[in-house]
Amino acid sequence: MFVAVVGGGPAGMAAAVSAKRAGADRVVIIERAERLGGVLPQCIHSGFGVNYYGEDLTGPEFAERLRADVKASSVEVWLNAMVIEARPDKTLIISTPHGISFVKPDAVIFAVGARERPRGAIAIPGARPAGVYTAGTAQYMINIQGFEVGKEVFVLGSGDIGLITARRMALEGAKVHGVAELMPFPGGLARNVQQCLKDFNIPLLLSHTVTEVLGSERVEAVKVAQVENGKTVPGTEKVFPVDTLVLSVGLLPEAELIRQMGLPILPYTGSAAVDQFFQTDLPGVYVVGNGVGIWDLVDNVAMSASVAGSHAVKYEGRSSDLAEVLPGVGVRVVIPQRLSLGESDVPRIWFRVACPIPVGVALLTRGEEVIARKGFAGLKPAEMAEFPLKEEQYRAIRPGDKLHLRVQQP
C-alpha cells in the first residue's frame, strides 16, 4: 500500500504518520516548501495542541512534535517538491530541484491547506501602492524572515490571524491604529480579542471596513467607514495615516489539484465533498485539514488528517451506501458532506454557524423529519462545533438521504 500525502503541514504530517501506523508499506509526504510544518513555524504564539497533545504549545513546538512523529515512523519526506498536476487516475506530477517526477500511489491524501483571500477578492478601491499584505504574509515576513514590515499599521478583518498579527506588529514596535471588522461581531476567538487587542489597547471597530487605499508608492493612508446593511454609512469615514494595511479577510482551501482530479468544488467550503473518513467521491482520494474546509484549531486539522490516514490504509474503495449532509438555515459549513453508512463507528459531524447564536438548537433533518437535535449555547462563527450523532440516529439514516443541518433560535 503506497500512500502519497500532498502537503507537509500539520494535516499532512498527521495523515502520513497515521497511515504509516496503520500499516502502509510506503508513505511519502510531498512538500513544496523547504521545510515541514506548513504555516505552523510562523505561528509563534501559543494555543496549539490542547486537544491533540493535551498541552498548550506554540506553532513551532506543535510542528516539532509532529516532525518527530514523522521521523520516528519512517515516512519519506520530499521537500521543495510541488505537485504541478494531479490526474484522476491518481498520477501526480511533481516538480523538484532534481527534475520532474511521476508517482502513482494507491491512495492520495490532499493536505494542501488554504490560501488567504487577497485585497482583490474583496475589491477594496483606491491606489495600488506597496504595503498591502495579507496577515499570513506579514506574519511570515516578521517571524520567519525577520523583516520590519510596517511602522504604522491598520488591520482589516478580526479573524484570529488578523488579531494575532496586530499584536505581533505591536510587539515589533509598530503602531497599530486599529482593527476593522465588517461584521457586528469579532471574527476570531474571544480569547484572542482580549489577549491581542484589549491587552494592547488596539481599538476594534466593529461594523467598519476599509473603503479606500491611498498612496502612490507606499501606502500613505487608509479610509475606514462604518457599514450598515452591507453599505457604508455616509459621513462616518475616517482617515488613518498608516504605511501598511494588513488583511485578514478569510481563507480559501487551496483546491486547484482537487479540481484537476475532476472533483466538483462545493461553493460553501471551496473544496470537494468528503465523507466522515475525509474520502472524496473518488475512491482512494482524500482531502484533509484546511484543504477540505477552514477549521478553527490546528488540533482539528491534525485530527481530521489522522482519520483519513488510517482509513486510506484499512479500507479499499468506499461503501456505495451514502447519505448527503447539507448546510441548512443558520449554518455556513458542514463537514463531512457525505456519510458512509453501515460503518462500525458513528461519524462525527462538525459545523460552523453563520452568525453568533447565544442559545439555540441544532437540528439534523430529512425533509420535514427531525433525525437528531441538540441544544447549544454560545455558538460563534469563529468556532467549529461538533454535532453529537447517536448510534441509533446514525443507523436510521438511509442510503440516498439528503440531510440538512440547521440552527434554530428560540
Partner 1 sequence: METSSGKSSGMGPVAHTAVYDVIIIGAGIVGAAAFRELCKYDLRVLLLDSLHDVGGDASRANSAILHGGFDPQPGTLMSDLNKEGVQLWFQWTQELSIDVEWTGSLVLAFNDVDIAEITRLYHNGKKVRVPVKFLGRDETLRREPVVNPEVRASLYAPVSGIIDPFQAVVALVGSGLKNGGKLVLDTEVTHLVKLPDGYIAVQTNHGELRAKVVINAAGLNAAHIMRMAGEDWFSIHPRRGQYFILDRNVGNLVRHVIFRAPTPKGKGVLVSRTTHGNLLIGPTAEDLTEPDRRTTAEGLAEVLQGAKYLVPFPYERHAIAQYAGLRAIGSVDDFVVQHSKVMEGLINAAGIKSPGLTAAPGIAHRLIELVTDLLTLEEKRDFDPYFEFPPILRELPYVDRERLIKEDPTYGHMVCRCELVTEGEIKSVLRMQPAATDLDSIKRRVRATAGRCQGGFCTPRIIDILSRELNLSYDQVTKFGRNSKLVYGDNRRGDA
In the complex, which residues of this chain contact partner 1 (CB under 8 A)?
Answer: 32, 80, 82, 84, 93, 95-100, 115-116, 118-121, 123, 125-131, 133-134, 136-137, 140-142, 144-151, 172, 211-212, 217-218, 232, 254, 259
Shortest Cβ 68–partner 1 spacing (Å): 26
Shortest Cβ 224–partner 1 spacing (Å): 14
User: Nearer to partner 1 by C-beta: 58 or 137?
Assistant: 137
CB 271 within 8 A of CB 110: no
Residue carrying C-alpha cell 448546510 = 327
Shortest Cβ 1–partner 1 spacing (Å): 27
Q: How far apart are CA 220 and CA 129, in angstroms?
A: 9
User: Nearer to partner 1 by C-beta: 99 or 375?
Assistant: 99
What single DSSP character describes residue 126? B
Retrieve residue 32's grid coordinates: 513544496
Shortest Cβ 95–partner 1 spacing (Å): 5
Sign of CA dihedral 183, 44, 59, 94: positive
Q: How far apart are CA 376 and CA 361, in angstroms?
A: 6
User: Nearer to partner 1 by C-beta: 34 or 391?
Assistant: 34
Q: How far apart are CA 276 and CA 346, in angstroms?
A: 9
User: Nearer to partner 1 by C-beta: 51 or 80?
Assistant: 80
User: Nearer to partner 1 by C-beta: 64 or 172?
Assistant: 172
User: Nearer to partner 1 by C-beta: 217 or 391?
Assistant: 217
What single DSSP character describes residue 118? -
Q: At what angle do helices 298-314 and 59-72 cross, to 10 degrees?
A: 20
| Cα–Cα separations (whole angstroms), residue 225 to 42, 207, 237, 253, 407 | 31, 9, 4, 30, 32
Shortest Cβ 168–partner 1 spacing (Å): 12
CA-only gyration radius of the chain, Å: 22
SS3 category, 86: strand
Shortest Cβ 338–partner 1 spacing (Å): 23
